[in-house]
Amino acid sequence: MNRRELIQLGTAMTAAGVLAGESAFAQTKAAAKPLTVLILGGTGFIGPHFVAALRGAGHKLTLFNRGKRNPGLFKDIETLTGDRNDQIDALRDRGWDVVIDDSGYVPRQVKLTADLLKDRVQHYIFVSSISAYADLTTPGIDEDYKLATLADPSVEKVDDTTYGGLKALCEQTVEQTYGKRCAIIRPTYIVGPGDTSDRFTYWPVRVARGGEMLAPGSASDPIQIIDARDLADFMRLCVEQRIAGRYNLCSPPGAVTMGDVLETTKRLTKSDARFVWSGTQFLLDEKLLDSGEIPIWSPATAEFAGASLVSSARAVSRGLRFRPLETTIRETLAWQNARPAEQQQKMRAGLTAPREAELLKKLATAKA
């Protein structure tokens, strides 16, 4: 988000009856002892939510980034400028209680900061991904499941084929350096206000537009998401309680279905949307998953049988909580409606209107 979008996010949330930028935990009593927290990043999508949750609890924050993405977003927070590619001098001779690393994608970069800070911080929290698992074939995957590997561990190009393996190597770097003084956080799709990927946002926006609509698979198909505010609240717990170990951050298996998202949005927006459920094979035949035109949803094929049924029980036992799906949808739409017109009209994920019309026609013909 840029500064304008952050202001719009605050306006949208206030309109929805929530204090701008404030998380659920931030409304509770501040921590007994304010802590110093270094955030490696902090100005993208999830970073501002971390800032809101921690600052709302009275903690003192420092951000470290290149100063290129949303510069000046937090003018009242100490910001150190540098680059994780060997330009980390701004971190030398400094110390913090806790480090949150939400910008580590390549193990070489993570090792630089982990080694530099290991004797001057008490706890290191690394934001990874469920993509770090070797596969998602087994329902109920927990944090001890096997991790992805790379044929060439020295590769630094981040793409769909290397992202998970690189995240796994970053995790290992942190754990080897900090031992029991670290937490590994593995979120699924992160959603909510501020998410410019539009992967989740597309669905509420499309339902609100109304009319006949292509819906993936069946209404009972599970999906897994995590609201960025719920992720931030759990991060605050990790900071304050020095929670260590590995944690999947996702809605409980089966708790949210594709039908839930679409029907809840229809009710909230009073839309006249009519859902045409495609079935799985049609989507595979049209290669809609490869193209990214059908985001969030995954097929119940052998390859993806566990993709939307990952276990979050360990995190729940340590305090992870989930706001209602209705809240996430309502506030995501409020944020979306406050964005500049060009960003509302040209979404980065989902089907275009002509493409959807073409697919609906094909589907009707196939069913005839």
Question: Residue 25 has what pLDDT?
Answer: 42
The angle subtended at Cα 250 by Cα 245 and Cα 255, nearest 5°, is 135
In order, the DSSP letters of 237-285 are HHHHHT--EEEEESPPTTSEEHHHHHHHHHHHHT---EEEE-BHHHHHH
Q: Which residues of 299-308 are buried (b: 16+ CB within 10 A; e: fewer)?
A: bbeeebbbbb
Query: What is the mean pLDDT for each group of 10 consecutive residues in the chain (368 residues)?
Result: 43 35 43 88 93 97 87 89 92 96 96 96 98 97 98 95 98 98 98 96 98 98 98 98 98 98 98 97 93 93 95 98 98 96 91 97 88
Secondary structure class of 61 (helix, strand, coil):
strand
| 307 in Cβ contact with 245 (< 8 Å) | no
- The CA radius of gyration of the chain, in Å to the nearest whole number, is 21
Residue environment code for 331-352, b if the CB has 16+ CB neighbours within 10 A, otherwise e? bbbbbbebbeeeeeeebebbbe
pLDDT at 32: 63
> How far is 123 from 46, CA to CA, in rounded Å?
20
The whole-angstrom separation of Cα 83 and Cα 67 is 9
The pLDDT assigned to 11 comes to 38
Report domain 3-195+224-254+299-346's class: alpha beta
Of residues 221, 255, 243, the one with CA closest to residue 325: 255
Question: 260: how many CB neighbours lie within 10 A of its CB?
Answer: 17
Partners of residue 61 on adjacent β-strands: 37
Q: What pLDDT is attached to residue 337?
A: 96
